[in-house]
């Protein structure tokens, strides 16, 4: 069987999916792409993922996945023994899904917008103000997440992919 291909770039969250692939013991290759640098690697990434984002996961059958949460849920289906997510019939599954989507939908974007504000503002706009507001919002979101955190893992005694996100983010 052809291995999965994880296309990533240092500092861009692909480590989350890389760790999940290892924990799931899924054969894979890693392709490091300087995703903002023009050239043939970026051109290939854009053909696979028109948003030009990493991580991008190419499945053995050629299907392309572009969202880390979808990748995690897929890998959990492929290798449930890895424990990336609670089984659907377990009570902590709903909490896992809620926190996973909160991490990728609310907290993760604060890195996108807060780390390089000029990319998201118009010329002359106060980028420092945007950075400050996004960082303040990120801190509020983290505090809320911390109030819900179990110990020693996000779900308490049970490890899940949430712990991978927290480690990297």
Residue 112: what pLDDT?
A: 80
Straight-line distance from the first to the last Cα atom of the chain, in angstroms, rounded to the nearest whole number: 33
Cα-based distances in Å from 161 to 60, 79, 85, 123, 124: 22, 13, 6, 39, 40
Map tokens 């291909």 to a residue.
5
- Alpha helices (H) along 49-122: 68-78, 92-102, 108-115
- DSSP-assigned letter for residue 86: -
Helix axes 68-78, 14-23, angle to 10 degrees: 0
For 155, residues 6+ apart whose C-beta sits below 8 A from its C-beta are: 86, 92, 95, 96, 162
Q: What are phi and psi of 86, to 5 degrees?
A: -65, 150
Listed by start position, the domains of the chain span: 4-82, 92-168
Cα-based distances in Å from 100 to 35, 69, 122: 25, 7, 32
Map tokens 């890693």 to a residue.
30
CATH class of 4-82: alpha beta
Task: Please give the chain's pLDDT, 169 residues, in tens.
Answer: 799 999 999 888 899 999 999 999 999 999 999 888 899 999 999 999 999 999 999 999 999 999 999 999 999 999 999 999 999 999 999 999 999 999 999 998 888 888 777 777 777 778 888 888 889 999 999 999 999 999 999 999 999 999 999 999 8
């Amino acid at each position: 069987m052809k291995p999965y291909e994880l296309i990533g770039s240092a500092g861009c969250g692909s480590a989350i999916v890389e760790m999940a692939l290892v924990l799931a013991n899924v054969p894979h290759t890693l392709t490091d792409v300087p995703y903002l640098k023009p050239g043939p690697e970026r051109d290939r990434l854009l053909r696979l993922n028109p948003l030009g984002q990493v991580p991008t996961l190419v499945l053995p059958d050629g299907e392309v996945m572009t969202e880390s949460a979808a990748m995690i849920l897929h890998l959990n289906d492929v290798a449930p023994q890895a424990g990336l997510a609670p089984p659907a019939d377990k009570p902590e599954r709903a909490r896992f899904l809620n926190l996973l989507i909160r991490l990728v939908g609310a907290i993760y974007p604060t890195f996108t917008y807060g780390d390089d504000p000029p990319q998201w503002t118009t010329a002359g706009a106060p980028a420092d103000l945007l950075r400050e507001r996004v960082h303040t919002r990120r801190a509020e979101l983290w505090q809320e997440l911390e109030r819900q955190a179990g110990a020693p893992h996000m779900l308490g005694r049970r490890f899940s992919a949430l712990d991978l996100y927290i480690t990297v983010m």
